Amino acid sequence: MINFRLHFFVHSLFSLLLSFAYRYYVLCYPAPSRNTLIVIILIVYLPTFTHMVIYLFANDDPKELEDALRNQLPNYSFEDTKVIIGTVDTMKSLPTLLMTLYMVVPIIPVYAIILLVRLKVRRKLDGIADKMSHHTRRMHHTLLNALTCQAILPIFYLEAVITFVIQTLGINHKLLEYSVFSMILMIPSLSPVINIYFIRPYRSEVNYFIQKDDQL
């Protein structure tokens, strides 16, 4: 199950990049067909899915893992631990190493591309602002605000990666252990909130259901 969750965590970063690229594309060219979008989404998802399948073969023997944890973390209690999964040495397990590199390495270049695409979208919108109606300019201003908020989200992923690397170097603390998943969970938690706030149809539906519940 951890394999399934991890692959969605890392893919959230690529999905965000894809959404930025799509927004820039439709400003410059006609929107692609639905079938074309499906093919692109599947192509982008394929590497993540492949790494998830490879990572299925990464788990070491639970008893060996428990012994390694007891030696490395003698102050921790494992008496109530039901299941222990993972790898004793990441560098000696090719599936684990590949998945780790896939989660850690892309964050800097992908985030840089996201910021670059956001800048291009902003310049494109500024360049055609004079040709837009007041309503259209207001709509695109809302889009820019949404882009700005979404561009902040990968920072949480970067913080999770930094925390993970710190622990890999042998620096352990409970705060660091909780921070890895706490930081990375901020992306799927905040992204829907941003969409609901900035996308009017979503916001209207949410308001409708809230008002409907209040009436009941």
% of residues, the chain, pLDDT over 70: 88
Task: Retrieve residue 36's tokens.
Answer: 């074309």
What DSSP designation does 90 have?
G
Please tell me the pTM assigned to this model. 0.74
Q: How far apart are CA 24 and CA 145, in angstroms?
A: 15
Asked if the model's pLDDT at residue 75 lies above 80, the reply is no
pLDDT for res 88:
67
Helix (H, G, I), strand (E, B) or coil at 19: helix
pLDDT for res 39:
96
Domain ranges across the chain? 2-58+93-208
Query: Which residue type is seen at 170?
Result: G
* Each residue's pLDDT tens digit, 34-49: 999 999 999 999 999 9
* Each residue's pLDDT tens digit, 92-130: 777 778 878 888 888 889 889 988 988 888 888 777 777
pLDDT for res 40:
95
Helices and strands in the chain: count of H runs, count of E runs: 10, 0
Q: What's the average model confidence in pLDDT over 77-85?
A: 65
Asked if the model's pLDDT at residue 84 lies above 70, the reply is no
**pLDDT, the chain, mean:** 81
* Each residue's pLDDT tens digit, 188-202: 888 888 888 888 888
Angle between helix 154-168 and 134-152 (nearest 10): 10
Residues 6+ apart with CB under 8 A from 31: 25
Q: What's the average model confidence in pLDDT over 77-103?
A: 72
Q: Which of 113, 119, 142, 121 is closest to 23 using CA atoms?
A: 121
